[in-house]
Structure 1
């Protein structure tokens, strides 16, 4: 048994389910809590608007099924998935000297089969499709980016559908004609919702990449070791 296998087995014995999955569990729980808070606050704001328009207010359960709530949620989801989609594919080729968010400077590109443990270079514990030499390997080797791209397109499409419904509802309240989905896609309302999220996500990625060159967070894999040189690239703490 290799040293790596012994270390992995020892780690499995030491950690339980909660510890082994704490990152997902904590952030998943935080997501649900924040989503619930957004529903409560959005419900109050929505009812205020109804009151101003002289309309009857609605309950929280009814509010979370409205297009207003759906568009507010999905417009944030699509920008987050876009961020990860661009970052996953971009970091294959794009580099930042000194950043742990970048690969080492000599590794730009998809790398060799040996480096990626593909085909004949797959190990006994490698995913099954990594050891194939057909379309399954090609798909699996890009599966993370593909799924993130699909999640982005799906949530962006959902935003557009919910957005036109919310926009048309507002139009009817103001005794104006509603618009169709295709027409809504070229309106400022759709692109304002979209671009204000895109720019913030791109700014956050750029800030993380460059700040991690010079700043440290002890113990975090998103940071270099505290004593690592500023020029060290692709090194995680």
Structure 2
């Protein structure tokens, strides 16, 4: 196997997903640019060039409104699966058997990451680094959603002769929370669907599924 082929084989999932993200983002930018300019034209305001749109609140809000819900979904899911179980789902830890992920980290284990060998605060942070990163990304996207949304909101307010608001002020509007909750609930639906459907349904060769011949009531993979 050549170097490139081996690299793709070892990292194909991330590479393909990154390609899909970039493709969808390009599509979002182009269609969002035209959609926003249509709204500006209706209000009698100057339309934006593509470089101007890339710095606009419309793109900022649309992008981070969605990313916010994704990071919230993953963070909540990671944390809930620490304690909660679902009989028959490969997305859950086993009901009555110990799991490798529950074992205490061993600093003497060959190849142990350096925070495990160092111990103390570094180990404490490393033990929870996945959930901390996900919730940190959620909070960052939450703020950028509000910042972008506030810019768009103020354009509309100025057009209607209404008072402008700060980013913090926009966070107190029903519109901001409507945008957030409509995305959050859809992400929780996706988790619920994956956990629930994986009890009964199968996908050959996918690690998100139990083996095709596994009993329905069996937990774990």
TM-score bin (small chain): over 0.9
Corresponding position of 1:16: 6
Which residues of structure 1 form unaligned runs of 5+? Answer: 1-10
- Alpha-carbon distance between aligned partners in 2 of 1:108 and 1:87, rounded to the nearest angstrom: 20
Corresponding position of 1:112: 103
Q: Deviations over 1:198-224 (max 9, x none)?
A: 000001001100100000000000000
- Alpha-carbon distance between aligned partners in 2 of 1:161 and 1:99, rounded to the nearest angstrom: 39
1:147 is aligned, of 129, 133, 153, to 133
CA distance 1:83–1:108, shift in 2 (3 Å): farther
Deviation at 1:107, TM superposition (A): 5.2
Corresponding position of 1:201: 187
Corresponding position of 1:125: 111
Number of positions where the alignment pairs a residue of Structure 1 with one of Structure 2 = 220
Corresponding position of 2:57: 67
1:96 paired with 2:82, answer: no
1:160 paired with 2:146, answer: yes
| 54-63 vs 122-131, greater mean Cα deviation | 122-131
- Alpha-carbon distance between aligned partners in 1 of 2:122 and 2:168, rounded to the nearest angstrom: 36
After TM superposition, the runs of 4+ consecutive aligned structure 1 residues lying more than 4 A away are 107-110
- Alpha-carbon distance between aligned partners in 2 of 1:160 and 1:141, rounded to the nearest angstrom: 31
Corresponding position of 1:176: 162
Corresponding position of 1:8: none
Which residues of structure 2 form unaligned runs of 5+? Answer: none
Over aligned residue pairs, what C-alpha RMSD do you find? 2.1
SS of structure 1 residue aligned to 2:96? helix
Corresponding position of 1:232: 218
- Alpha-carbon distance between aligned partners in 2 of 1:151 and 1:108, rounded to the nearest angstrom: 31
SS of structure 2 residue aligned to 1:69? helix
Q: Deviations over 1:105-130 (max 9, x none)?
A: 125897231xxxx135x521222222
